[in-house]
Amino acid sequence: MYTVSSSPHMKSNDSVQGIMRDVIIALIPATFAGIYFFGMQAFLVTLVSVISCIASEALWQKLTHRKITIRDLSAVVTGLLLAFNLPAAVPLWLPAIGGFFAIIIVKQFFGGIGQNIMNPALAARAFLLASWPVHMTNFTVDGVSSATALAILKTGGDKLPSLMNVFIGNVGGCIGETSVLALLIGGAYLIYRKVISWHIPVTFIGSTFILTFILGRHGLMTGDALYEIFAGGLILGAIYMATDYTTSPFNKKGQVIFGVGCGILTTIIRLYGGYSEGVSYSILIMSLFVPFIDKFTALRVFGEVK
Amino acid sequence: MGLLTFKKGIHPKDRKDLSMHKAIQDLLPKGNLVFPMQQHIGAPCDPLVKKGDRVLMNQKIGESKAFVSAPIYSSVSGTVVDISPRLHSNGTMVLSIIIENDALYEESLAMIPRIDYEKLSIDELVAIVKDAGIVGMGGAGFPTHIKLAPPEGKKIDSIIINASECEPYLTCDYRLMLEKSTEITLGLKIILHMFPGVTGYIGIEDNKPDAIEIMKKACEVLNNVHVKPLITKYPQGAEKQLIYALTGREVGSGKLPADAGCIVQNVGSVFEIYNAVINGRPLTERVITVTGEAIKNPMNLRVKFGTSIEEVIEAAGGFKETPVKVISGGPMMGTTLSSLNTPVIKGTSGVLCLTKEQTRLEEESSCIRCGKCMNVCPMNLNPTKLNSLVLRSKYDDFEKYHGMDCIECGCCSYTCPAKRHLTQTLREGKRTVNINRRKK
């Protein structure tokens, strides 16, 4: 008796674990950059965040008698991305609570992998920022408090860091967001491996670039667009968070709408909002529109006459 | 010249190297032959013989009065030893005629060779094709005579020979082209004669350059026939995709190739049209590819219908290692066999034996919404959405989201990183909708 099954009998080598592994590999340069610029504390925050995410997932699945799926590595990705969105100086209980919130409240309450309506790491960051704003905005470089480039742009005060320092990541900010260089290396890897396509990152970053130049902080056409896209969490958000499969549109057309929407919201929050940074909120807001975007960008079925 | 193709699809490893260089060998059956009365799409045949009758090779032993059907012929001479339900390669028990082979191969000459086919009317030619029992040899088994008699008012301007052989592993069409190009060309000439003024296309994937060359050469004698190289991509040979690649026309939902002015015939069927008209021989045998990593000597065999799969595998040297799956047809759309004790029939294009390594029997995990299934679906469907609709028994929505347009090519399941059984549930959804429609 041989195995009987429905066709096809050949499968590709792709797996969920393989995709998540690729994302982790892509995040390695930025992890090292974070540790290099912010020290051992950055490493500990990252470690606690990842462990908290894995443990929360395993615990939830154990308590609810589900199959434990931590081997798919998606919790590791969430843990890394959460840590990337935290300042290095936070107390270690903060990433622990953040990981718990991301996995249990945002991911598992909505049905687990593929079902959450928001990116778990981003939603957890928003939760932490609202609950412990002082810890969440205490940025340091070499142990000295240091405002982020975007905050300086917004409120003035300190001297602006150089474009070079903003590019390599030697500025105040969250652990994983400051090194544009490291993030771009990882992003290139993800596109090369076809884990993500260029549509969301390019349209997100591109629309922010164009809009910040046009609207400018000192009047029309005065924006230093290059500086603006390298500062803050735009590169991290555009490459790694906005491209989250679960909370972004299926089609290329939808992805372009999503990316441009994120870019518009980011620019508005950055230039006119109360916060100096708007990347995470713009992604969270646009994620809620994904079902609508998917509906209105549905593909024409082969042979269909519209 | 630029290569033609369709949109989306996948690029699985073709593994044709296992058998593509092996010339076709004839296999004579040893044991009893089993002829299921259903080897085609349409009404099953009724047996024309009874237990104890002596039958000749090429003698008609099963026929139906229905229009959508194809008669069945004995491939050997011998005695009818039983008429009873037997295991069919589709997994069901089907009424079958069992013939004991007397190894004399005494031939019935009921069918008359018509070298003078140009004098025959279209209806007469269609009747010959119907009487010869010819069906689509690609696997689906749709009776060929129906395709050759399009409904009134449908203007046919293109005859397409499907020689893409896009299923991985299979090489029977390829070998047939290398070894029988003149005969195939003659078969095409007969079809062209039936539809004056049409253009003929032969679509061949570019992983078979020598077949493209040889068919080009053979077709030089014909006006208005173009051999078109196609990009090697699955499912290039799916009817709608092939028509799109060659003519740029889309066959709409629920429509037939004739609605787009096309008739598509598998290259094996074209050869059989030649065989029926010129040689006066009905369809009693075919070329099959016996292959897969579990087979000792992968090869191409010309096998008489009714021969058991077990004999076919034996002829290919038997198993190198125990296979996990034995498949009738190719790896993308073939059906698995539970037992080797089932006969080769008209639609058996290959016997594929896969080991554990190739079959990848992994458990399903949750959809991560990566969208890969949508990016490969040649029909532009949303397989993961349709999958969840079927799982929740929402068949109305399944129809609304064009589930019935699924061609079951398997691209979505092939590509899914979560290993979801997308093709399987879509197939089930289509079946349920069809059953519900019939009930109404």
Respond yes or no on whether the N-terminal peptide bond of residue B47 is cis (omega within 30° of 0).
no
C-alpha B192 chain-centroid distance: 22
Q: Domain holding A78: CATH number? A: 1.10.3430
- The residue-averaged pLDDT of B66-78 equals 95
Structural domain boundaries enclosing B424:
372-439
Whether residue A72 and residue B331 make contact (CB cut-off 8 A), yes or no, is: no
Domain boundary among B260, B279, B298: B279
CATH number at residue B118: 3.40.50.11540
CB contact, 8 Å: B314 with chain A? no
Residues B122, B269: one domain?
yes
Q: Are B169 and B352 in contact (CB under 8 A)?
A: yes
CB contact under 8 A, B336 and A5: yes
Question: Domain for residue B429, yes or no?
Answer: yes
Give the domain-ending residue among B244, B279, B314: B279
What's the mean pLDDT when you consider all of chain A? 94
Question: Residue B27: is its pLDDT beyond 80?
Answer: yes
Contacts of A11 in chain B (CB under 8 A): 360, 362, 413-414, 416, 419
Range of the domain at A191: 16-294
Residue-level pLDDT at A105: 97
Cα B128 to Cα B150: distance, rounded to the nearest angstrom: 16
pLDDT digits (tens, 9 = 90+) for B125-165: 999 999 999 999 987 789 999 999 998 889 999 999 999 99
Same domain, B270 and B382: no
Please check whether residues B271 and B402 belong to one and the same domain: no
Q: Is residue A246 part of a domain?
A: yes
Q: Is residue B339 part of a domain?
A: no
For every residue of B196-259, DSSP letters joined together read TTPEEEEEEETT-HHHHHHHHHHGGGSTTEEEEEE---BTTTSHHHHHHHHH---PPTT--GGG
The dihedral built from the CA positions of residue B342, B344, B347 and B348, taken in this order, carries a sign that is positive
Residue A306's pLDDT band (cuts 50, 70, 90): low
B232 and B380 both lie in a single domain: no
Average pLDDT on B178-201 reads 94
A8·B331 Cβ contact <8 A: yes
Evaluate whether B51 touches B95 at the Cβ level (below 8 Å).
no
Angle, CA B257 vertex, CA B377 and CA B282 arms, to 5°: 110
The pLDDT score that the predictor gives to residue B378 is: 96
Whose tokens are 């589930």? That residue is B403
Residue B225: what pLDDT?
94
Residue B20 in domain:
no
Cα B23 from chain centroid (whole Å)? 20
Question: Both B384 and B265 in a single domain?
Answer: no
pLDDT at residue B21, rounded to an integer: 95
Q: What is the CA radius of gyration of chain B?
A: 21
From B148, B151, B167, select the one nearest B159 (Cα to Cα). B148
- Taking only the tens place, the pLDDT of each residue in B358-395 is 888 888 999 999 999 999 999 999 999 999 999 999 99
Q: Structure tokens of B388?
A: 């969840």
Residues of B in contact with A113 (CB under 8 A): 365-366, 368
Q: How many distinct structural domains can be found in chain B? A: 2
Q: Which residues of A touch B421 (CB under 8 A)?
A: 6
What is the token pair recorded at B129? 């094709």
Do the domain assignments include residue A112?
Answer: yes
A8:B359 CB<8 A:
no
3-class DSSP state of B404: helix
**Mind listing the pLDDT tens digit for each residue in A273-287?**
988 889 999 999 999
pLDDT score at B110? 85
Q: Which helix (H) or strand (E) holds B281?
A: none
Q: Is position B50 within any domain?
A: no
Is B207 inside any structural domain?
A: yes
Q: B123 and B266 share a domain?
A: yes
Residue A198 lies in a domain: yes
What pLDDT shows up at residue B3?
86
Same domain, B130 and B231: yes
Segments in chain A forming alpha helices (H): 16-38, 40-63, 74-84, 93-100, 120-131, 133-136, 149-155, 163-168, 180-192, 199-215, 225-230, 234-236, 252-272, 279-288, 290-296
Per DSSP, the three-state class of B423 is helix
Q: How many Cβ atoms sit within 10 Å of the Cβ of residue B55?
A: 24
Pairwise CA distance, residues A129 & A281, whole Å: 11
* pLDDT at residue B1 is higher than 60: no
Quick check: bond before A133 cis, omega within 30?
A: no
In 3D, which of B69, B117, B63 has the Cα closest to residue B276?
B117
Interchain CB distance below 8 Å, A245 and B370: yes
ipTM reported for the complex surpasses 0.95 = no
Q: What is the pTM of this model?
A: 0.93
Q: Is A65 on the interface with B (CB under 8 A)?
A: no
Residues of chain B neighbouring A305 (CB-CB closer than 8 A):
252
Contact present, A30 and A179 (Cβ < 8 Å): yes
| Residues B265 and B380 both lie in one domain | no
Name the residue among B163, B156, B188 with its Cα closest to residue B256: B156
Domain end: B224, B255, B279, which one? Answer: B279
Domain count, chain A: 1
B271 plus B145 within the same structural domain: yes
Residue A10 lies in a domain: no
**Is position A3 within any domain?**
no
Compute the distance between CA of residue B300 and CA of residue B320 in angstroms, rounded to an integer: 17
Instruction: Give, to the nearest 10 degrees, the angle between helix A279-288 and helix A120-131.
Output: 120
Q: State both tokens at B378.
A: 């040649």
Distance CA B337, CA B110 (A): 35
Encoded tokens for B391: 């799982």
